[in-house]
Structure 1
């Protein structure tokens, strides 16, 4: 009897495979962006480096990604209370789209300030911004695709009950991480220009 109880306790403490895999993916993303920002620091010390001001619109996009994490947190809490999550999930998606929109406007501001980011005559510092922030945008786009898939999975009370909370929790780990990653990047770009 004790063996059965101990086995159940051990099983209940195991991390679900999907959460474990998400943490592995996050670790690989951290290593990738760590490599990018390390290369940025090394290149910044070269004589040909051209410094530029970070567009203020990036701070607006930072506020948007933080707000989207708040709405997603509320969404998960609503699910656990048995309430509809669709309004907060949709707001999270809209904030994600607005984040990307403001990022693209920020790229435009950098280019208009004379720092060409890609192509002939591009500036290394602008290219780094373009690559690092651009890859972050791709991660946000991946999150938006996941949001729309999850919107379908949670579109009715019956589907929500079948899906359970785990997909929402796994997605929220990813989304909160991507938000924290952007906060790190914007602070990094601000101080390391």
Structure 2
């Protein structure tokens, strides 16, 4: 091989090595940046969403200023949500309106986790208001039930219950506080 041929061969070899190195280093950087970013596959702003159960009936309606969908887990993260949970078909109960600072909805929409200053409001069979206040609440819209392990305050006209933990049947407006229950009659709450 001539001297000129050897120089061309070495230049081509160096170019191939540099090109391969550049491609591999870029590939690693793209993999790291895509793995590090947990970008939602879509975001909604100032929206209202109605979720249906398996029978095609309304499970809940959601209103919020922002919602992000996690593409891997297929869950929803929501800022300051308002959930309206209707009673079961044929029930005379009124819908529950549940607000919180943040919300999370499972992939199938069968579990809602509410966190931060949670307030749930409805009316009982007599038309009197019932409210639940807690720091976190898990709602199961298909079963029309809610649970919590945090401190809970239940208020009805003239009556306030405080306790730890909650099991609630949202249709029947039956609320059970789990422990450390204290009741107080309050004439100012009507």
**Is TM > 0.5 for Structure 1 vs Structure 2?**
no
Larger Rg: 2
Richer in strand (by share)? 2
* TM-score, length basis structure 2: 0.24
Q: Which has the higher contact order (CA 8 A, sep 6+)?
A: 1
Richer in helix (by share)? 1
